[in-house]
Amino acid sequence: MTKAVPLCVDLDGTLIHSDLLLESFLLLIKRNPLYLLLVPFWLLQGKARLKQQIASRVQLDGAALPYTKPLLDWLRGQKEQGRAVWLCTASDIRLAQAVADHVGFFDGVMASDGQLNLSGANKAAELVKRFGDKGFDYCGNEQVDLAVWRHARAAIVVNAGTALVTAAGGVTKVEHAIAPMPGGPKVILKALRVHQWAKNALIFVPVAAAHQLGVIPALVNSLLAFMAFSLCASSVYLLNDMLDLAADRQHHSKCKRPFASGQLSLLFGLMAAPALLIVAIGLACLLPIKFMLVLAAYYVATLAYSFGIKQLVMIDVLALAGLYTVRIVAGAAATGIPLSFWLLMFAIFIFLSLAIVKRYAELYVMRQQGKLKAKGRGYQVEDLALLQSLGGASGYLSILVLALYVNSPDISVLYKHPKIAWGLVPVMLYWISRIWMQTHRGQMHDDPLVYALKDKVSLVTGLVAAVVLWLAV
């Protein structure tokens, strides 16, 4: 009878939309990047040994994984019909057991043990030894699973295209198939966060502030700097998302990110991140060495942010403000335009205010969900009032800096009608006040700069500010 035939389920790419070796590797690197030096030596002892060494040093949360829900539902139905269900995976036994404990309905676990890598032919041999040839059904998702399906009574093809379904049908009967999640270029662009490249428009601020947008060499250098920064930023975004999987999967919106949801392979991220960085460095080589140094500082700072600074209260928002400001510094370095003290002071205060907006927005959602503390952050819901005070004060300090600049002799160097520039002060006062009002009401996107680029009122405010500056020139 069908009920008597055990159902054996692969884990990586089948039960979950991810790979536990890569998940555990990223957990290990996040814990201590120096482990990278040991990984090659572990690999020389075999893949099973590598998995064991990594698994022994990390703690995997079985609940924080992107499970294939249609498969889970189907497996529960089979279990209710009396079938024995086994988890059979090439992942290390420690990690596999954590998953089995969370799922709760597996009758047993077969996994790699540090000596034998339970994949392909090895898995087929062990399953035949335990259940007999054609004595089990098997759920898999890759070409390597064909070696197992040859000895299975039936195949359940999961998260794979029609080509694998056809190949599996050539070696055994296909009992059931579950289609993969949607993928393609849109998912890749989402992972690269191309929409976040808009923040790199800050690179053009020094050229615009110096009234050199019409100077072709300065504009070309700014464009090259923009592309280099954007590719470098995407490299960091990929790495950050891979290192922050557990926290993202518990976030109300970040759980939909390609890596957190399992829409995009972690292997893609591990390959694309260094490739994008190399291209960014190539573009930076076309610019002055100062720009290369600023780009390197940005990359190191963002890595430090990803590896731990983001968990430090207030230091994280100061770091975010610095990462926004460094884009302006990069624009100056790429074009050779001297940086204005006034511009830097204004940028630091306004970006600190916006960085606090970002944290406030996250905590606001936490409060709405009944949570007391943000996962992976050092903030608590009770900090909301204090953050609002600090963020509002920082925003108003930026307007004070702007007012002092407009009243200083320095403005006459670039503007023939400096008194008209006073119009910027009420415009900016209105904008920063409105940003905080929207944040207080829970209407703020968790990235305020992206929000501002989509917000009609912010765009109109920006246009008014541009007109004021044009009249002042």
Say what the pTM is.
Answer: 0.83
- Which residue type occupies 378? G
Distance, CA of 249 to CA of 317 (rounded, Å): 22
Q: Does residue 455 carry a pLDDT above 90? A: no
Report, as an integer, the average pLDDT of 127-138. Answer: 96
pLDDT of the residue at 210 = 85
- Nearest Cα residue to 351 out of 374, 381, 385, 328: 328
pLDDT tens digits, 156-172: 999 998 999 999 999 99
Report, as an integer, the average pLDDT of 86-109. Answer: 95
Question: CA 296, 300, 304: angle at the middle one, nearest 5?
Answer: 170
- Which residue type occupies 79? K
Name the more confident of 149 and 302.
Answer: 149
What percentage of the chain carries pLDDT values higher than 70?
98
pLDDT band at 365 (very low <50, low <70, confident <90, very high): confident
Report, as an integer, the average pLDDT of 45-59. Answer: 95
pLDDT of the residue at 1 = 39
Contact criterion met (CB below 8 Å) for 25 and 47? no
Sort 232 into a burial class: Cβ within 10 Å, 0-12 / 13-18 / 19+: buried
Contact criterion met (CB below 8 Å) for 312 and 348? no
Question: CA 232, 252, 370: angle at the middle one, nearest 5?
Answer: 135
pLDDT of the residue at 52 = 96
Report, as an integer, the average pLDDT of 9-23. Answer: 95
Contact criterion met (CB below 8 Å) for 10 and 156? no
Chain mean pLDDT for the chain = 91
Largest pairwise CA distance in the chain: 92
pLDDT tens digits, 250-302: 877 788 899 999 999 999 999 999 999 999 999 999 999 999 999 999 999 98
Q: Does residue 2 carry a pLDDT above 50? A: no
pLDDT of the residue at 376 = 53
pLDDT of the residue at 246 = 84
Which residue segments constitute the domains of the chain, with CATH numbers given?
2-178 (3.40.50.1000), 185-472 (1.10.600)
Contact criterion met (CB below 8 Å) for 37 and 156? no
Report, as an integer, the average pLDDT of 146-152. Answer: 96
Report, as an integer, the average pLDDT of 170-195. Answer: 91
Q: Angle between the 384-406 and 341-368 helix axes, to the nearest 10 degrees?
A: 160
pLDDT band at 447 (very low <50, low <70, confident <90, very high): confident
Distance, CA of 323 to CA of 315 (rounded, Å): 12
pLDDT band at 367 (very low <50, low <70, confident <90, very high): confident
Coil, helix or strand at residue 382: helix
Q: Does residue 399 carry a pLDDT above 80? A: yes
Report, as an integer, the average pLDDT of 159-187. Answer: 92
Report, as an integer, the average pLDDT of 164-193. Answer: 92
pLDDT tens digits, 297-315: 999 998 888 777 888 889 9
Report, as an integer, the average pLDDT of 46-71. Answer: 94
